[in-house]
Structure 1
Amino acid sequence: MDYISTRGKIEPVGFVDAVLMGLADDGGLLVPKQIPQLSPDTLHAWQQLSYPELALELFSLYIDGEIPRDDLKKLVDDSYGTFRDDEVTPVRRVSNSLHILELFHGPTFAFKDIALQFLGNLYSYISQKHNSTIHILGATSGDTGASAIEGVRGKEGIRICILHPHGKVSKVQELQMTTVDDANVLNLAVDGNFDDCQRIIKELFADVAFKQRYHLRAINSINIARILAQTVYYFYAYFQLAKQGQGEKVNFSVPTGNFGDIFAGYMAKRMGLPIHKLILATNENNILERFVTEGVYQPGEFRGTHSPSMDIQVASNFERYLYYLNGEDAGTVSALMSDFKRDGRIVIAGEALKQVQTDFEAYGVQNDECLSTISSYYSDYSYLLDPHTACGVAAAQRYTADDEVTVALSTAHPAKFDEAIQLINIKQTAPSQIQALSGKPQFQTRVAGTNEAVAEQLLAFF
């Protein structure tokens, strides 16, 4: 399996090189040269697989023998053996039409564990097999950082630096990152918002000489391995419903800020998974909703919300979707991204916009609606949603009919966002692992939101 850039200016690379490259050296994002196509017979046969067995089959399609199957199986088993639920991502029925796909049973109680436990183990495997230096650089709006650190902390041959926006993540998210005192972990609290952190990361990776000199590797969803790992739970959830005779008109409602989680669903659909609707849920930072409804992709005013992991204006995975929307024409994508860099906006219309609206429904959930959704589902169904999941559920309510079944992706345990839950007078008991964070010393360095300030820290650390 070859991987190519959305901007078309690099030679095709294999899976391991794609993982190590992270951001393509031409500034684009890596995608598989061909998306594997799955027959109905294959989908039917896979219904009986466990989550790790399903992950092994799907990863094998994209790795194509580059990692021996026995080695890959061990990577998968080690990655998902850390989860608290035997199903890894169980599907919970809440009502006749709504199911919740619980993606928070990993070590840090967030959906990012599903991809980052695997990617952390994969980086360790590559480091050992290829005698490679792995210096991981990533940015987080809250959950990625803790998951990435948990995936590689203490591992030989790997160092990790994570940027987070100072004061703009939940207290639990901050504690999960900054109470880690391993020598191979550096936390930088950046003055600014997540978009500033993400911009710094992408610009440092775009400096190819700097990236190669310091062996920088990506942990964010610009890394194609993240997306591939996230496709698995769409298949798994669909299969659980299909086994119950609910395989017709299954929708997925996905809270997303960086477009990675819903792009994984889009990839699953292109592979042949018969998804009915992909519903894109955002919050008041609703650039993606405006793109779907109006065809205009343009950052607006940053808003702090009760769902801070989606407080994102510039979605790093959006370029991958543009590539497929424009018929896999790298030249068009390159021109569009140049226009975006110059003008700060991308506008599409006509048949292209109709295609977007065929691919997605979209809804931006306001703060009050987010809280009222949490309150009503706790009252009516005794099910406590975290604020991000609540956005997904609110969007599902808006766009699904009574005869349709919707799976809303639950991206985090509600205990990670108790500040919001307390606003509606709901008391919860946090898991013991989260309770244990309180009072621990924190290790972080506050820096200005500039490339130079971050690079200075990296040079001292790496």
Structure 2
Amino acid sequence: MKYLSTRGGPERLSFEEAVIQGLAPNGGLYIPAAIPQLPPNWATEWSSFTFPQLSFQILRRFIPVSASEGGIPDADLKSLIERSYSTFRDPQVSPLVQLADHEWCLELWHGPTFAFKDVALQLVGNLFEYFLQRRNAAKSQGATPDRITVVGATSGDTGSAAIAGLRSKANIDIFILHPKGRVSPIQEAQMTTVLDTNVHNLAVDGTFDDCQDIVKVLFSDKAFNDQYRLGAVNSINFARILAQIVYYFSAYFQLQKQLGLSTASSFPPEIQFVVPTGNFGDVLAGYYAKRMGMPVQNLAVATNENDILQRFWKSGAYEKNSASSQSGHTSMSQVELAQSSLDSAAGGVKATLSPAMDILVSSNFERLLWYLVFETDTSGSDEERASRAGEQIGNWMKDLKEKGRFAVSEEQHKLARRDFSAERVSDSETKKTILKYFSSPPSAMHRKSYLVDPHTAVGMCAANRLVSSNRSATHQIILSTAHPAKFSEAVVSSLESAGAQFDFDRDVLPPEMHGLLEKERRVIDVKLGQQGGFESLVENTKAVIEKTVGASQAQSQANGAVTASS
């Protein structure tokens, strides 16, 4: 299995190279050269597997066995997976909870930081460590060890999950950029109270899109990237998507078991997955599961008021603002293009109760776009079609940066609507949904009220709206992305009418979070320069990384390089 860039080019990388590199030099995202298909008897043979066993079967189809091909031998892969999920509080890892006859919730927040991103980032952290150790073990005694500088942007949950996966790992520094004042107090505390010397939190004067664009600019700066060996933990890294495919299969088997259905049946249950969506990585994992051969009727994209994705499924146009596109610019540098993108979208990101979805441009959507182009182009060889798809994606991304929009063809839009639907949910609807499920359980199957975070509530509201257009036999599985304790302000404000019946600290806050807000913190502010603008944020971020990693490298060399036992 090789990996190619969504923006074309002859480069074909091994899995190891794709994970370590994260983002392609041309700005594209890595995707597998082909989507592997499930074996004939998967539905029966895998039905009793644990989550780690399912994970091994899925990952094995994307990762070669041979180390010489950038793969991972069976024993090592199984060990990595077992270690990654040993930290989860539920033996199912992602348990499926029934809410009503045809309504289910897939709880993805039983990991160390109480968010769905733990499922992927516990594994990604171990993959980084594994590949680094293997590379350094092959070096001669006395050689300088390879290091990785992980740089990521977060709207809240990615940061804490990435830090939990990478803290204290040898030869790795991790820098997490978050928009100052735009993450929940619990999310900020989960990141900034981790005092391990290799963990660095940067609070950026700007939005999540600013943080994400800074990361993309750093990765596109070849000299900077080469010097500091940047690695990605955002969902631009395909390993993140790969790990998330697994819980779709887990949900499928849990549903069959709870319904008492035979896995050998020729008529599997009809399933619609409803996914709270920001950067598009979570729902994209479901798309890969479907393309591999898992029966999925529909993937529903649930957005908040930052609704670029919902507007795309309605119109076929992908545009930052619903207003008319702005005049184009030519001969712009990467930094200037990013600055133009931010300027054209001034005020475009609306702060909502579901901040992890407050995103103007969904990075992972580029991967789906590539498949829409590739699948609707039926002439020539696969290599020729892949080349044309990469060229088209490159043109669209250029249009998005310079003009603020692009549009797909009618055929491509029709293909997108075949597999997906999309709904937009307002803040007022989010609050009403939180209260509804807390105070009025949908059925007697759930004996006590069910409390959810605002992102999950967005998914629930969208699911309720979609019921009327579904077939009566359809089971809706809503992905629950975070524990409600991570968004205390939104939850408490939604439940004000519940009065004395609700006590947040007593009823919601997990023991692991008690006293978290009072702990010592370490964070570096990245401020706008005197001239302001996006470029000053980039330069100030670079300065922090250069100073910090330079000190780490000096310490590493002082401690002595690779020893014979390493």
Shared fold, TM over 0.5: yes
The alignment partner of 1:403 has SS state of coil
* Residue of structure 1 in register with 2:26 after alignment: 26
**Match for residue 405 of structure 1?**
475
Is the CA contact (8 Å cut-off) linking 2:316 and 2:410 kept in structure 1? no
Matched, 1:339 2:399: yes
**Is the CA contact (8 Å cut-off) linking 2:297 and 2:419 kept in structure 1?**
no
Aligned match of 2:246: 232
Q: Which of 295, 303, 324 is the matching residue for 2:350?
A: 303
Whole-angstrom distance in 2 between the partners of 1:167 and 1:188: 12
Q: Which residue of 2 aligns with 1:121?
A: 126
Cross-structure match for 2:180: 166
> What is the match of residue 457 of structure 2?
390
Runs of at least 4 residues of structure 1 off by over 4 A?
none
Give the residue type in structure 1 aligned to 2:197.
Answer: A
Distance (whole Å) between structure 2 residues aligned to residue 287 and residue 43 of structure 1: 36
DSSP-derived class of the 1:326 partner: helix
Q: Does 1:438 align with 2:517?
A: yes
Give the counterpart of 2:215 among 201, 207, 210. 201
Q: C-alpha displacement at 1:438, in angstroms?
A: 2.3
Residues in 2 aligned to 1:458 and 1:341: alpha-carbon distance in whole angstroms: 26
Separation of aligned partners in 2, 1:157 and 1:452: 24
Question: Would you say 1:216 and 2:230 are equivalent positions?
Answer: yes
The aligned runs of 1:371-390 (5 Å cut-off) are 371-381=431-441, 382-390=449-457
| 1:41-190 correspondence to structure 2 within 5 Å | 41-65=41-65, 66-131=71-136, 132-190=146-204
Q: Which residue of 2 aligns with 1:368?
A: 428
Supply the AA of the counterpart residue of 1:172: I
1:422 counterpart = 2:492: yes
Give 1:427's aligned amino acid.
D
SS of 1:156's equivalent? Answer: coil
C-alpha RMSD of matched pairs (Å): 1.2
In 2, distance between residues paired with 1:373 and 1:10? 49
Work out whether residues 39 and 272 of structure 1, in 8 Å CA contact, stay in contact via their aligned partners in 2: no
Equivalent residue letter for 1:79: S
Of the three residues 173, 176, 191, the one matched with 2:205 is: 191
Q: Answer yes or no: is the 8 Å Cα contact 1:252–1:409 preserved in 2.
A: yes
Q: Quick one: which amino acid aligns to residue 418 of structure 1?
A: S
* C-alpha displacement of 1:6: 0.7
Residue aligned with 2:200, SS: strand
**Structure 1: which 5+ runs fail to align?**
none
Deviation, 1:40, is 4.8
Counterpart AA for 2:406: I
Distance in 2 between residues matched to 1:126 and 1:258, nearest whole Å:
27
Secondary structure at the aligned position of 1:106 is classed as: coil
Residue type of the alignment partner of 2:478 = A
Residue 10 of structure 1 deviates from its aligned partner by 4.2
Residue type at the aligned position of 1:265: G
State how far apart, in whole Å, the 1-side matches of 2:351 and 2:478 are.
Answer: 23
Q: Deviations over 1:408-439 (max 9, x none)?
A: 00000000001001112253330011113121
* TM-score in terms of structure 2 length: 0.80
C-alpha deviation, 1:35, in angstroms: 0.4
Task: Output the CA distance in 2 between the equivalents of 1:242 and 1:431.
Answer: 31
Question: Shift in Å at residue 156 of structure 1?
Answer: 1.2
Q: Is the 8 A contact 2:318 2:407 kept in 1?
A: yes
Distance across 2 between alignment mates of 1:18 and 1:316: 17
For residues 152 and 91 of structure 2, what CA distance do their matches in structure 1 show?
A: 29
Give the counterpart of 1:286 among 294, 304, 307.
307
Question: Which residue identity does 1:290 align to in structure 2?
Answer: R
Which of the residues 514, 531, 545 maps onto 1:458?
545
Cα distance between partner residues in 2 of 1:38 and 1:218: 28
Shift of 1:39: 4.1
Counterpart in the other structure of 1:330: 390
1 CA distance for matches of 2:206 and 2:349? 11
Work out the number of aligned pairs and report it. 462
Q: Is the 8 A contact 2:185 2:517 kept in 1?
A: no
Q: Report if the CA contact (8 A) 1:421-1:427 is conserved.
A: no
Gaps of 5+ in 2: 66-70, 137-145, 262-267, 322-347, 375-385, 442-448, 497-501, 529-536, 550-566
One-letter amino acid of the structure 2 residue matched with residue 95 of structure 1: A
Point out the structure with max Rg over C-alpha: 2
194-203 or 439-448, which moves further after superposition?
439-448
